[in-house]
Structure formats: structure tokens, C-alpha cells
Amino acid sequence: MNLWLSLNKAITLWPDKEGLVEGERRFTYRQFGERVAALTRQLAALGLTRGAKAAIACPNTIEFMEVYYACAISGVILVPLNYRLAADELVDIIADSDSELIFFHSDLWKQALELLPQSLALRHVVLIGNRQTRILDNLGSQQHQYEDLIQTEPDRSFPELPHLQSDELAQLYYTSGTTGRPKGVMLSHGNVSINSLAVVGELGFNERDTWIHVAPLFHLADAWSTFAITWVGGKHVFLSHFNPTEALRAISQEKVSTTVLVPTMLNAMLNDPEIGNFDYSSMRLLITGGSPIAPETVKRAMQSFGCEYVQLYGMTETSPFLTLSMPKSDQLGLPEDKQVEIRSRTGRPYMGAEVRVVRADGADVKADNTEVGEIIARGPTITCGYWKQPEATAQAIKNHWIYTGDLAVIDEFGSINIVDRKKDMIITGGENVFSNEVEYALYEHEAVAECAVFGIPDERWGESVHAVVVRKPGFDHLTEDEMINFVRDRLARYKAPRSIEFIEELPKTGSGKIFKKELRDKFWTGRFKQVN
């Protein structure tokens, strides 16, 4: 099994169907296939053969999807770069991955000016976008314009392709490095293909679906849809850079039926003043992934977009999905509040993955929705490990089970619910407090746009619960005491924040998740341990 199968099906069954849209650019699957074939031939002409590495730094564009496929079907291993990282971090990733070529979008030229002169092992730099952008002089690598490579290739048929096996590497996704040295997650053709097919089966994607790429394509939060939607002949719509108003407008104009958003993006769209000015009648399914979501946000999303909602959970190492929160057929008749509760959970195991919640001794926790354990998983979508890091691989994967570091409970119906990350659990006065539970309570307040909860040092209690809150416009009068009392009315007193900090905007990682580590670190600077 390899990723060529998905593209081959699309260009065979739906050659004249509009398959890709980005602004004014519109390609049929036949046109897309011809462009991918041209790029495949050019990769070979540049000397990139099976097993070579190519990096890409690019916003959500048609070219990004072309590169995904051209590399996959050539046997070239693609390294998608989180271009929001610092230049030094990107230099390290390019070097660690042994990348020989980099695709760079002209929108990111400032980053290119910093990192390309330091990336001496690169043999080729290919510029996507504005042809007038000046390419750096005196680089050791050969420099090319992407569109010139496509247009000057006379043969638009696919060359004889290598017969790629399921276990051959397709992509290297590097973790953001927020907890130490970035790790290259190795994903095979089989990992990515089986995950894509399982999503199609679980969520019922078909050729009538139109998908909008809002979450970044360099991250698996959205990248899986590249292959899943193509496999069924659906339409891809690209939003190059996230803007909540533009995302809402594109959903309306292109009659989008489904997409995935990280919760911070969904929150921004729900709080956008223009949300009531567009038509969302085409929407049938809204998906979130990347981090847990508050029930109140789920309820607002379903009401605002008038469609079903599903939460998908997983990690880069699992290609990425392990569970989904779709109610079973016998639960669809339940009252609305109960259905929202089900959809807000992490969910039941997803097709193709075996998922358990275990104690420290490896035994399963009780299915009582109370006992907390760690989520572990195994199956055909699990990575074989981390690039050049056998020790980290052995730490994460034991007897074929990957240990996620996520703490969860499981109920009698087999539905899992994450309560925290191991590192985010707060121990205050001997009591365990899970930050997600406090965040959900905060989100119930009409004034809270975003929030993050974590533990800070406390000489009396060991750690105390601290919250950072972004208030919605018009709620500047909201005080710390009012917010603390609001939570105390909903949770045990020891779970409520002892302190609240109001800021204008929460820091985010490249994938759009709240960067809690940056908020937390200032309280722990100079301490030997990050727990108290």
C-alpha cells in the first residue's frame, strides 16, 4: 500500500472534476495530475531518487499538495517544516533530516534569508510563488523557480514509478521542540494510507465533499486530508494563511461541507464579529483536533454552523488519529445536552487502532469514568520511531505500544476522555487537579475568549492553580475575584484558580495549539524541578 493509489484513483475516476481551488486558480484532477507528473520528472532530473529527503516551508497552497504527491510517488521522503519556528531550529531540522532540497514559498522570504546561508548541505532551493522575488546570491545550492520547473517539463505523463512498499518512509514530521530537542517522527506509506482510508470509512467522505484547508498543511492536524479527500474525489479549497473572517467567507463562497480546525481557530471564528453574515448551509461536518475542547464551545459550534461535530484525537506518532467522538447510532436519539457531552469527549477507538487506558503497572483502569490512567495504542498507523533517535523511540514505544503521555478515564461504553497531559497535572495540597477541567469551567463564562490553566510554585500548597485568560471585547471590567468565584461555583474549591492573569493574546505553537509552556516557564525559572 502506498500513497500513489489515492491520486491514481482521483485522476482515473474524476479527471474532469474540479479538484483544487485557491483564490482564482482552479484545477481539475487531470490538470493537477499533469502538474504532479511534471514535478515528479523534475525531481528525478535534479537527482532526487528513492529515499532522498526534501524539505518544504510553505503556507497552504496548491503547490504544497503537489509536492506532497510528487515526493510520495517518487519515493522521496518529505520533511514539512513548521515555518513559525526560529531560523536556528529550522537549520537543525534540515541538517538532522539530511534534506538535499528545499521548497520555499516567497511569502516566507525573511525566514529564507536567515536559514538558507546556514543550510550548507542543501543541493537545491526551489522558490514557490512570486517569480520576481530575488533569490539569494552565492548560495552553495542550485536555485530554481517552481513554476518554471513545471512549465518547462514537456512530458506530462507519469514516469515509471518505483513500487513502494507499505513500510517505506513517506514523511518526516518534526515535533515543535517545546520540550527539548525536536524529534523526527517517521511515517510510512502504510501508516499514512491506512489512516486516510480509516477516516474515509469512519466519517463517510465522498466525491460530493468540499474540504477547506485552514489548519496548516505542514502539520498532521490537516495534512491527512490531502490524501483522504483525494481518495474519494472530493474538492480541496486552500486558505493560505488563517484569518477567521476569510475562513468564514470561503466556507460560504465555496460551499464547503467539512473541515478540521484546531480549537483555537474554531474559537476565533466563533468570536469573529462577521460570523452571522455568511451562509453555512453547505456544512455537514465540523471536526476539531490537536487539543481537547470545552463542551460549551462544541455547543456553540453546532449552533453556529448548523452541522454535526466530531472531535478527533491522536498525535503525529499515530498518523495521527486514535479516537473520534462520533456518537453511536443508538445515542443519536439522546437529548441535546447528552449528545454534546458525548461529542466533547475524546471518544471511542478509531478504525485501525487498538487503544487502552492503563495504570502505571500496565493493567487497564476500571471502566468507571473515574480512575485515571495513560492512553497507549498500537496498530498499523503507529510510527516505527524517531529519526536517528533510538533511545527516544525505546522510551515511547514498548512492546509495540506507544505511550502517549495523555491521562484519561474510560467509561462503560468504551469512550475515552482526556483529563490532562502528565506534565500538566497540578498537585495542590496533595490533591490532583486536571487543567482541562478548570479550563472547561472558565469557558462557560460569557466573557472568556481563550484561557490556559497550569500549576505554579506555592510554598504552602506545593503548587497552586493559575489561569491566564483572554477576555472578549466589551468585558474589560471583569475582575480576577469575579472569575475565581465563577469557577468555585462549578468545581471543588481547591480546583479553582488562586490567581488569574488577563492578557490580550495567548501564545500559540506552529500548529495553532496554546503554547502553555511559554506561559508557565516564567514561574519556574531558576528551579531545579518543574514540579513543587
Q: How far apart are CA 407 and CA 425, in angstroms?
A: 9
> What does the angle CA 27 – CA 30 – CA 35 come to, to the nearest 5 degrees?
75
Q: Specify if 117 maps to a domain.
A: yes
- Residue 146: pLDDT band with limits 50, 70, 90: very high
Q: In sequence order, which residues have a C-beta less than 8 Å from that of residue 461 and are 6 or more positions away?
A: 428, 429
Q: Specify if 67 maps to a domain.
A: yes
Q: Specify if 216 maps to a domain.
A: no
Q: In sequence order, which residues have a C-beta less than 8 Å from that of residue 390 and are 6 or more positions away?
A: none
Residue at which a domain ends, from 187, 214, 229: 187
Assess whether 276 and 256 both reside in one domain: yes
> What does the angle CA 492 – CA 496 – CA 499 come to, to the nearest 5 degrees?
160
Over residues 206-218, the mean pLDDT reads 97
- Residue 213: pLDDT band with limits 50, 70, 90: very high
Q: How far apart are CA 309 and CA 394, in angstroms?
A: 36
Over residues 141-165, the mean pLDDT reads 92
Angle in degrees, 0-180, between the axes of helices 62-74 and 29-45, rounded to the nearest 10: 60
Mean confidence (pLDDT) of the chain: 92
Q: How far apart are CA 135 and CA 112, in angstroms?
A: 9
- Residue 531: pLDDT band with limits 50, 70, 90: low
pLDDT above 80 (res 343): yes
Q: How far apart are CA 180 and CA 159, in angstroms?
A: 42
Over residues 288-317, the mean pLDDT reads 92
pLDDT score for 532: 58
- Residue 188: pLDDT band with limits 50, 70, 90: very high
> What does the angle CA 274 – CA 278 – CA 280 come to, to the nearest 5 degrees?
125
- Residue 84: pLDDT band with limits 50, 70, 90: confident
Residue at which a domain ends, from 369, 403, 421: 421
pLDDT score for 3: 97
Q: Specify if 251 maps to a domain.
A: yes
Q: Specify if 219 maps to a domain.
A: no
Q: Specify if 319 maps to a domain.
A: yes
pLDDT in tens, 250-274: 999 999 999 999 888 999 999 999 9
Assess whether 469 and 403 both reside in one domain: no
Q: How far apart are CA 355 and CA 143, in angstroms?
A: 46
pLDDT above 70 (res 133): no
pLDDT score for 132: 63
pTM summary value: 0.87
pLDDT score for 424: 78
**408, 432, 399, 363 alpha-carbon torsion, rounded to 10°:** -80
pLDDT above 90 (res 512): no
Best CA proximity match to 46, nearest among 128, 131, 153: 153
The cell for 320 is 495521527
Q: How far apart are CA 232 and CA 251, in angstroms?
A: 20
> By the 8 A CB rule, do 462 and 428 touch?
yes
- Residue 135: pLDDT band with limits 50, 70, 90: low
pLDDT score for 93: 93
Assess whether 411 and 430 both reside in one domain: no
Q: How far apart are CA 85 and CA 111, in angstroms?
A: 9
Over residues 336-349, the mean pLDDT reads 93
Residue at which a domain ends, from 187, 214, 233: 187
Assess whether 79 and 92 both reside in one domain: yes
pLDDT score for 177: 44
Assess whether 398 and 465 both reside in one domain: no
As separate numbers, helices (DSSP H) first and strands (DSSP E) second, the chain gives 16, 27
Mean pLDDT lowest among 1-10, 128-137, 302-311, 392-401: 128-137
Mean pLDDT lowest among 116-120, 156-160, 200-204: 116-120
Q: How far apart are CA 167 and CA 187, in angstroms?
A: 9
pLDDT score for 289: 87
Residue 215: count of CB within 10 angstroms of its CB: 26
pLDDT score for 89: 83
Best CA proximity match to 35, nearest among 149, 118, 133: 149
Q: Specify if 505 maps to a domain.
A: yes
The CATH number covering residue 379 comes to 3.40.50.12780
pLDDT score for 341: 92
Q: How far apart are CA 40 and CA 159, in angstroms?
A: 8
Assess whether 397 and 263 both reside in one domain: yes
Assess whether 282 and 167 both reside in one domain: no
pLDDT in tens, 419-465: 877 777 888 876 778 898 899 999 999 999 999 999 999 887 888 99
51 or 87, which is more confident? 51
The CATH number covering residue 172 comes to 3.40.50.980
pLDDT above 90 (res 275): yes
Q: How many domains in the chain? A: 3
- Expressed as residue numbers, the domain containing 62 is 4-18+26-187
> By the 8 A CB rule, do 253 and 237 touch?
no
Q: Specify if 90 maps to a domain.
A: yes
Assess whether 416 and 491 both reside in one domain: no
The CATH number covering residue 513 comes to 3.30.300.30
| DSSP β-ladder status, 101-105 and 124-128 | parallel
Assess whether 33 and 171 both reside in one domain: yes
Assess whether 381 and 507 both reside in one domain: no
Give percent of the chain above pLDDT 70: 96
pLDDT in tens, 381-417: 999 999 999 999 999 999 999 999 999 999 999 999 9
Assess whether 389 and 451 both reside in one domain: no
Assess whether 451 and 401 both reside in one domain: no
pLDDT score for 460: 78
- Residue 179: pLDDT band with limits 50, 70, 90: very low
